[in-house]
Amino acid sequence: MSPGLRSLLLLLALALLAPFAWHVAKALPQFGSPTAAYGATVNALGPPLRHVSNMVAAVNFDFRALDTLGEESMLFCAVTGAVVLLRGTRGEGTNRRAGLIPGRAVLARSDAQVLLCRIACTLTMLFGLYMVLHGTVTPGGGFQGGVIIASAVLLLYLAEGYGPWRRLIRSPLLDVLESLGVLLFVGAGAAPLLSGHAAMSNLMPLGHFRDLFSGGVMLVTNFAVGLAVAAGFVMLLLEFLEETRALQSDSLPDEAQR
């Protein structure tokens, strides 16, 4: 199909769909006046039944915990897939050394920059942890906190340079951490089966409303998600960054063997 014909067909399809979209938009409830009973019930029952104040966390980690397990597996799957695809040609072996691209200037890092990045890294890491831990109380949670922790690890790269960073962050370790996160979630979901309860049941003490340790098993699954997400995103960033460093092994000297 020529590009012109393709665009024409696309416009035709959109033109066919447009009046219907308008029709649906008019038939939908007015924006800002929802009628869903599900959400209202969660808002009404979440605090008394689960002692947590963040209803989104209550939905994610208790009422619909299975969705979140699927979501974590999806991330796990995508990270594994991306790692396979990126490593394909260079293999895992290049993991422990930094490549150097010919013609790229090696910028010296000033002491101020190193110090600043180290401080920022610590602060970001703490903030990420704070966010993971307060997932059931305030906005945020395992996913957001996990991504923030991953970006803190990236700041470490800015502070230490690629080589030392690479020696510090080992991919087998990340694999283990990520797997532990998923396993923890699976375990928390399967454990109630042993006592004859339904999977994903929240059998732990629920704590007090608005307290940091409220929500029972939600704390465990929230932490599991944080762990898996942090390790998964670090792994992803690591492999993508390696891609900008990967040498053509046959044509360039191996820096690690100097």
Partner 1 sequence: MSLALGVLPWLVSAWLFAVGLYGIVRSRHYVHLIACLAVCQSATYVLLLSIGFRWHAGPPIFYDHPPGSAAVDPVMQALVLTDIVVGAAVSALLLAIALQVHKRRGSVDPQSLRPLRPNR
Partner 2 sequence: MKALTAALLLLVAVAGPSVVLSRDPRRQLFALTAFGALLAALFEVLQAPDVALSELVVGTAVTPLLFAVALTSIALDRRRR
Partner 3 sequence: MSAATSLPLAGLLPLVVLLPLGIAAALLAVSHWLPARFIELSALATSLSVAAACARLAQAGLTGPIVQWMGGWAPAASGRSGVVLGVSFAADPTSAALAAFAALLFALAFVFAWGEFDDTHGHFHVLMLLFLAALAGFCLTQDLFNLFVWFELMSVAAFALTAYPLGKSSLEGALNFTITNALGSFLMLAGIGLLYARTGTLDMATMGRMVMHLSGDPVVAAGFCMIAAALLTKGAIVPFHLWLSDAHTVAPAAVSVTFSGAMVSVALFGLAKLLAKVFLGNAQLAHLSQEFLAPLGIATAILGALMTWAQRHLKRLLAFSTISHMGVVVLAIATLRPAGLAGLLVYIIGHGLVKGALFMLAGMLLALRASGDEIILYRRGRGLGMAAPAMLLAALLFCNVPWGLLHRGEDLIAAADADATTRLVLSLATALTGAAILRAALRIFFGCSGVPGVERAAPSEPEHEKAQRPLWVMQLSCWILLGLAVLPGGSLVAFARAAAQQLLPGTLSAAALSGESSSIAALLFVVAVLAAALLRVRPVRPLMRAVARGEGRLFGALQGLHSGLVGDYVVWMLLGLAALIVCAQLLG
Contact residues for partner 3, defined by CB under 8 A: 1, 3, 6, 9-10, 12-14, 16-17, 20, 23-24, 27-29, 34-39, 41-42, 45, 62-67, 69-71, 73-74, 76-78, 80-85, 88-89, 92, 172, 175-176, 178-180, 182-183, 186-187, 189-190, 193, 196-202
Question: What is the phi-psi region of residue 91: left when phi exceeds 0, alpha when psi lies from -120 to 50, beta otherwise?
Answer: left
To partner 1, the closest distance from the beta carbon of 170 in angstroms equals: 21
Closer to partner 1 at the Cβ: 86 or 158?
86
CB 216 within 8 A of CB 207: yes
Q: Closest Cα to residue 60, out of 194, 179, 178, 202?
A: 202
Other beta carbons less than 10 A from residue 162's beta carbon: 18
Task: Indicate the DSSP class of residue 95.
Answer: G
For tokens 């029972």, what's the residue? 216
The pair of three-digit structure tokens given for residue 177, joined into one six-digit string = 């951490």
What is the identity of the amino acid at 211?
Answer: D
The pair of three-digit structure tokens given for residue 87, joined into one six-digit string = 């490593």
CB 189 within 8 A of CB 181: no
Question: Residue 151 touches which of partner 1, partner 2, partner 3, none (CB < 5 to 8 A by kind)?
Answer: partner 2
Residues 131-170 that bind partner 1 (CB under 8 A): 137-139, 143
CB 170 within 8 A of CB 182: no
Question: Residue 47 touches which of partner 3, partner 1, partner 2, none (CB < 5 to 8 A by kind)?
Answer: partner 1
CB 201 within 8 A of CB 192: yes
Residues near partner 2 (CB under 8 A) are: 54, 56-57, 101, 131, 139-141, 143-144, 147-148, 150-151, 154, 233, 236-237, 240-241, 243-244, 248
Residues near partner 1 (CB under 8 A) are: 3, 6-7, 10, 14, 21-22, 24-26, 28, 30-34, 36, 38-40, 42-44, 46-48, 53-56, 58-60, 64, 67-68, 70-71, 74-75, 77-79, 81-82, 85-86, 88-89, 137-139, 143, 209-210, 236, 239-240, 243
